[in-house]
Amino acid sequence: MGKRDYYDVLGVSRSATDDEIKRAFRQLAKKYHPDVSKEKDAEAKFKEINEAYEVLSDPNKRRNYDQFGHAGNDPNGFGGFSQGFSGGGFEDIFSGGFGGFGDIFENFFGGGKKRRDFSNQPIKGENLAAHVKMTLKEQMLGKKVQLDLNVDKPCEICAGTGAKDPKKDIHTCTTCDGYGYVNIEQRSLFGIMQSQQPCPDCKGRGKVITSKCPKCKGQGHYRGKETVEIELPKSIHEDQQLRIREKGNYGLNNGPRGDIYLEISVKPNKYFKRVNDNLHLDLPVSYLDALLGAEIKVPTFDGDVHLKLPPNTKTNSVFNIPNHGFFKSPTSHRRGDLIVNIIVTIPTKLSAEEKTKLQELKDVSSFKIADNFYEDL
Ligand SMILES: [Zn+2]
Ligand SMILES: [Zn+2]
């Protein structure tokens, strides 16, 4: 069964604001929370709602989703890594990143107090979107491209711990006793409500760093450029989206890298054009060669080939050169044709000698437009 559209799941429009999304989510989440809901399928619904909210409440993921659909946010990826990072720091990993849903529900319904331990869980890195512009020749024959990516690199100085000395500078948070959460009481319409909030001192980590790593300033990671080399398959189509596995953002705790979703566009070519698997060429040919016949050179994307032009070749005559078109598929050896459309071309300037010779030619020429042409007008 296919996945439902996230906007449908939350019952909001594609242009819904963050507030509208949040409101819809809260209502549905209350309705379907498995602890309170009497609906059957509550648990499955609840999961679906959470997944939809997880994506639509995050601007990056929402953008990916709008652009790529469900493929844009690999559920395995869960986006923890960069969501945490882009959201302004480590704390987001623990609140937004991993457990968007846990947090909200623990706040809402007062979940049991348990120590959160995400320290060793491998998390796949975030998927990235990229775009490559290429020439028609590169599209046909394939290409190695270098993508410059902004990625969150794990800090190699502190091995991702954020501490200057991981052995000495990481301590259990005394405010929350390592739980990452504190209980707070709030007066509300319904009386005094107790809820849990992420610990303000350790931001939900349960641990504090007393001396931060100078390179990553305690984050455990830093934003940096990285060049990734990718081999683009031959003869891909422009509307094809490529998924390049595990070249995206870095994972956490040795989790795999995310994927790259690559879109391509092809620069228009003045002479060549792709039509399905065939390559079309408008080839300018001298009027003399067209009249007298000649062996002419035809440029192709894999070197010149020769074409025998018969005498009296008219403009828009078409010649097929087999096996010089696009590949039937990136793994196929079979190819389409090069289709050559002859454009007979007259000179824009004549030398004195050419003029004299042409005049002589005209004097002896038998050429006439069809006899009855003027009568039929
Ligand atoms: Zn704490
Ligand atoms: Zn560091």
CA of 217 to the centre of ligand 2 (A): 6
Whole-number Å distance, alpha carbon 237 to ligand 1 midpoint, is 52
Taking the centre of ligand 2 as the mean of its atom positions, its distance from the CA of residue 151, in whole angstroms, is 15
221-232 vs 143-154, strand pairing mode: antiparallel
Sole residue written with tokens 């775009």: 131
Q: How do residues 237-265 score in pLDDT, each as one tens digit?
A: 988 888 999 999 988 777 889 999 999 99
Q: In CATH terms, are 58-266 and 272-364 the same topology?
A: yes
Ligand nearest to the CA of 220: 2
Ligand index nearest the alpha carbon of residue 162: 2
Mean pLDDT over 301-327 rounds to 96
206-216: per-residue pLDDT in tens? 888 999 999 99
- What is the 122 CA–ligand 2 centroid distance (Å)? 18
Distance 224 CA to ligand 2 centre (A): 13
Distance 11 CA to ligand 1 centre (A): 37
Q: Which ligand is nearest to the CA of 200?
A: 1
Q: Residue 175 CA: which ligand is closest?
A: 1
Ligand nearest to the CA of 216: 2
**How many angstroms does the Cα of residue 30 sit away from the middle of ligand 1?**
28
Ligand minimally distant from the alpha carbon of residue 153: 2
**Mean pLDDT computed over 274-291:** 96
Q: What is the mean pLDDT of the chain?
A: 82
From ligand 1's centre to the CA of 44, what distance in Å? 33
CA gap 55, 126 in Å, rounded: 12
112 compared with 246, residue with greater pLDDT: 246
Q: How confident is residue 377, by pLDDT bands cut at 50, 70 and 90?
A: low
What pLDDT is recorded for position 30?
Answer: 80
Average pLDDT over residues 130-138: 94
Q: Nearest bound ligand to CA 217? A: 2
What is residue 73's predicted lDDT score, i.e. its pLDDT? 61
The rounded Å distance from CA 140 to ligand 2 centre is 44
pLDDT tens-place string over residues 86-97: 333 333 333 333
Say if domain 58-266 classifies as CATH 3.20.20.110. no
Tell whether the model's pLDDT for residue 233 goes beyond 70: yes
Ligand 1 midpoint to CA 161 (Å) = 17
User: Which pLDDT belongs to residue 45?
Assistant: 85
Q: Which residue(s) pair with 209 in the sheet? A: 170
Counting ligands in written order, the one closest to the CA of 199 is: 1
| Residue showing tokens 């869980």 | 121
As a whole-number percent, the residues of the chain with pLDDT over 90 amount to 44
Bridge partners of 344, per DSSP, are 285
For residues 106-111, give the mean pLDDT: 38
Quote the CA–CA distance of 86 and 331 in Å, as a whole number: 38
SS (H, E, C) the chain: CCCCCHHHHHCCCCCCCHHHHHHHHHHHHHHHCCCCCCCCCHHHHHHHHHHHHHHHCCHHHHHHHHHHHHHHCCCCCCCHHHHHHHCCCHHHHHHHHCCHHHHHHHHHHCCCCCCCCCCCCCECCCCEEEEEEECHHHHHHCEEEEEEEEEEEECCCCCCCCECCCCCCEEECCCCCCCCEEEEEEEECCEEEEEEEECCCCCCCCEEECCECCCCCCCCEEEEEEEEEEEECCCCCCCCEEEECCCCCCCECCCCCCCEEEEEEECCCCCEEEECCEEEEEEEEEHHHHHHCEEEEECCECECEEEEECCCCCCCCEEEECCCCCECCCCCCCECCEEEEEEEECCCCCCHHHHHHHHHHHHHCCCCCCCCCCCCC
Query: What is the distance in A from the centroid of ligand 1 to the CA of 198?
Result: 8
Per the listing, tokens 């990056």 go with 60
Domain ranges of the chain: 58-266, 272-364
At the fourth CATH level, which superfamily is domain 272-364? Urease metallochaperone UreE, N-terminal domain (2.60.260.20)
**Which of 54-63, 187-196, 258-267, 316-325 has the lowest average pLDDT?**
187-196
* Cβ neighbours of residue 70 closer than 8 Å, sequence gap 6 or more: 3
Ligand 1 geometric centre to CA of 172 (Å): 8
Closest ligand to the CA of 155:
2
Distance (angstroms) between ligand 2 centre and the Cα of 222 equals 8
Report pLDDT for 75: 43
The CA 102 to ligand 1 mean position distance, Å, reads: 17
User: How big is the chain, counted in residues?
Assistant: 377
pLDDT tens digit sequence for 5-49: 899 999 888 888 888 898 888 888 888 877 777 777 888 888 888
Cβ-Cβ contacts under 8 Å for 253 (sequence gap 6 or more) = 119, 120, 121, 122, 123, 160
Judge whether residue 109 has pLDDT over 70. no
Residue corresponding to tokens 């987001």: 92
- Closest ligand (CA of 182): 1
